[in-house]
């Protein structure tokens, strides 16, 4: 009984800490990046644990039924080809503080979901004189709730590593661990990784609302980061960053972008959720005869299965369902996506009617419709449902690793600076084949004055849309 109570209490603490979004950041000159992995625990994960029966229905909560997705469902929904796995490519995940259980968590994630281990998994201590010495990384005590959000960063680390790997299981994974979440520490760690891993794909599921860095005193770290990205694309690196989880204004009165997503060389990833969006508690049994027409938002599936059943078989993933702008008032979150306060319109976004730099692409970020993540930092492995735009950045990095593999197969180098290529596709006849154009919803966070609606073609809430990976890779390989 005591053990059960302890487990329940620990999971309750985790839920409270992680569902509340991070809406503030340091206003000092030495600014701090923040993360916001929005996580709901399903329960402890042991050797005899099975996946939630009836996927994609994961859990019944006080808010109703919660949908979640395994790698199989997400890969099928976005048409990730099985003929490519990212072999020969490197994905670099940049996070602060790291996680003391990340190796065990990744191994258990692979075991649970039937994925191969990555060819290599390197923990790179970016602020150390010897960054390849894993023992020089910071030691994280998640029970010490310091103001820098170290606990949230450990959850973020599991999400980023596991889901980049889920999309490109044959790619090498490098986890860059910055000593702290200050702009200087992350910039220095990333500079070391850029030098060590040319031609890699970088994922950055962190950011700071631009309002905190509009003053001249904070521009030094912005300039340092910009030099990093320019140096990286010069050696074939590609960079992704998440657009934020608190709407177009981040809770303020002015719309703004998220940095580093707003940088010229970063692909800014906004969030989507399923369409039709299943109101919690209203999911219906799936027909057992054709035509199969069941969806759980992002994913289409067929039976014989019943959502929420207590025995196998689970539903079978069929493909894409539909998407709208990610905006979940019941959780107090919505995707970022707004004009930049720092940067003007880049050349590749000309002709879109923008007044400043806007976001680029989108990806599933729902909480009710989140992804499954293994996390062991509570002292025992736990299966979490995780949402937020931070889920999209590592998965887009995995997609690009697949594209770089396809390029290598025909004698080409890594694609490098991706935005000019993406927008050339947007302006071509291949746009409707390569992307889902998101046309429903807006990114106005409840209680804030400003948001932007989705519409036909490019929009500030979802950029040019979410990927049809098998088709997009054809054009990325040919670019």
In this prediction, residue 214 has a pLDDT band, given cuts at 50, 70 and 90, of confident
Query: Does 171 score more than 90 pLDDT?
Result: yes
Task: Pull the structure tokens for residue 366.
Answer: 């729902």
Query: Does 211 score more than 50 pLDDT?
Result: yes
Cα(141)–Cα(97) distance, rounded to whole angstroms? 10
Query: Does 287 score more than 90 pLDDT?
Result: no
Percent of the chain with pLDDT over 90: 69
Query: Does 127 score more than 90 pLDDT?
Result: yes
- The highest-level CATH class for domain 2-50+57-275+315-478 is alpha beta
Question: 3-state SS of 374-441?
Answer: EECCCCCCEEEEEECHHHHHHHHHHHHHHHHHHHHHCCCCCCCCCHHHHHHHHCCCCHHHHEECCCCC
Task: Pull the structure tokens for residue 204.
Answer: 């950055």
Nearest Cα residue to 229 out of 263, 206, 279, 192: 263
- 29-44, pLDDT tens digit by residue? 468 888 877 888 887 8
Cα(284)–Cα(168) distance, rounded to whole angstroms? 33
Percent of the chain with pLDDT over 70: 83
Cα(101)–Cα(220) distance, rounded to whole angstroms? 34
In this prediction, residue 334 has a pLDDT band, given cuts at 50, 70 and 90, of very high
135 contact partners, CB below 8 Å, separation of at least 6: none
Strand ranges (E), 163-306: 172-178, 201-204, 208-209, 238-242, 258-259, 266-274, 294-295, 299-302
Q: Give the torsion through C-alpha atoms of 74, 79, 84, 87, to 10 deg.
A: -40
Q: Give the torsion through C-alpha atoms of 134, 139, 140, 141, to 10 deg.
A: 140
- 129-148, pLDDT tens digit by residue? 999 999 999 877 766 555 56
Phi and psi angles of residue 185, each rounded to the nearest 5 degrees, phi first: -65, -45
Least confident of 74-78, 145-149, 336-340, 475-479: 145-149
Nearest Cα residue to 154 out of 132, 175, 129: 175
CB 436 within 8 A of CB 447: no
Chain Cα centroid distance, residue 8? 27
Which pLDDT score is estimated for 373?
95
Bond from prior residue into 375 cis (ω within 30 degrees of 0): no
Query: Does 362 score more than 90 pLDDT?
Result: yes
Give the global pTM.
0.92
Task: Pull the structure tokens for residue 20.
Answer: 């509340």
Strand ranges (E), 257-343: 258-259, 266-274, 294-295, 299-302, 316-320, 323-325, 327-328, 333-334
- 229-273, pLDDT tens digit by residue? 999 999 999 999 999 999 999 999 999 999 999 999 999 999 999
Which pLDDT score is estimated for 38?
84
């Amino acid at each position: 009984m005591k053990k059960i109570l302890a487990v329940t209490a620990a999971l309750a603490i985790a839920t409270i800490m992680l569902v509340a979004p991070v809406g503030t950041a340091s206003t000092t000159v030495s600014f701090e990046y923040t993360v916001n992995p929005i996580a709901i625990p399903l329960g402890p994960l042991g050797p005899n644990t099975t996946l939630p029966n009836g996927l994609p229905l994961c859990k019944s909560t006080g808010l109703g039924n919660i949908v979640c997705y395994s790698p199989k469902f997400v890969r099928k929904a976005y048409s990730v080809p099985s003929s490519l796995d990212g072999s020969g490519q490197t994905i670099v995940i940049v996070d602060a503080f790291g996680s003391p259980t990340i190796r065990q968590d990744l191994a258990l994630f692979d075991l649970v979901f039937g994925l191969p281990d990555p060819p290599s998994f390197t923990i790179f201590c970016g602020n150390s004189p010897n960054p390849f010495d894993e023992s020089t990384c910071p030691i994280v005590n998640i029970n010490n709730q310091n103001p820098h959000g170290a606990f949230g960063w450990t959850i973020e680390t599991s999400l980023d590593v596991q889901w980049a790997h889920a999309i490109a299981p044959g790619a090498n994974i490098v986890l860059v661990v910055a000593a702290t979440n200050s702009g200087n520490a992350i910039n220095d760690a990333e500079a070391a990784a850029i030098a060590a891993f040319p031609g890699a794909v970088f994922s950055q599921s962190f950011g700071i609302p631009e309002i905190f860095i509009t003053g001249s005193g904070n521009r030094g770290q912005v300039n340092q980061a910009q030099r990093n990205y320019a140096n990286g694309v010069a050696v074939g690196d590609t960079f992704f960053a998440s657009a934020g989880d608190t709407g177009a204004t981040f809770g303020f009165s002015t719309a703004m972008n998220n940095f580093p997503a707003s940088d010229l060389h970063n692909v800014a990833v906004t969030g989507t959720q399923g369409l039709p969006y299943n109101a919690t508690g209203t999911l219906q049994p799936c027909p057992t005869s054709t035509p199969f027409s069941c969806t759980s938002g992002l994913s289409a599936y067929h039976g014989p299965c019943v959502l929420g059943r207590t025995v196998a078989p689970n539903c079978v993933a069929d493909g894409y369902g539909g998407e709208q702008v990610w905006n979940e008032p019941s959780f107090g979150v919505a995707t970022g996506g707004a004009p930049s306060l720092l940067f003007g319109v880049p050349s590749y976004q000309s002709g879109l009617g923008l007044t400043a730099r806007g976001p680029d692409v989108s990806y599933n970020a729902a909480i009710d419709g989140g992804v499954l993540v293994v996390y062991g930092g509570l002292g025992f492995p736990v299966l979490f449902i995780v949402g937020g735009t931070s889920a999209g950045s590592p998965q887009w990095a995995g997609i690009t690793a697949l594209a770089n593999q396809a390029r290598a197969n025909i004698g080409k180098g890594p694609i490098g600076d991706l935005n000019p290529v993406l927008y050339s596709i947007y302006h071509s006849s291949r746009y409707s084949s390569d992307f889902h154009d998101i046309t429903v919803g807006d990114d106005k966070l409840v209680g804030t004055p400003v948001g932007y609606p989705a519409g036909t073609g490019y929009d500030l809430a979802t950029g040019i849309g979410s990927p049809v990976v098998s088709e997009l890779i054809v054009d990325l390989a040919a670019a």
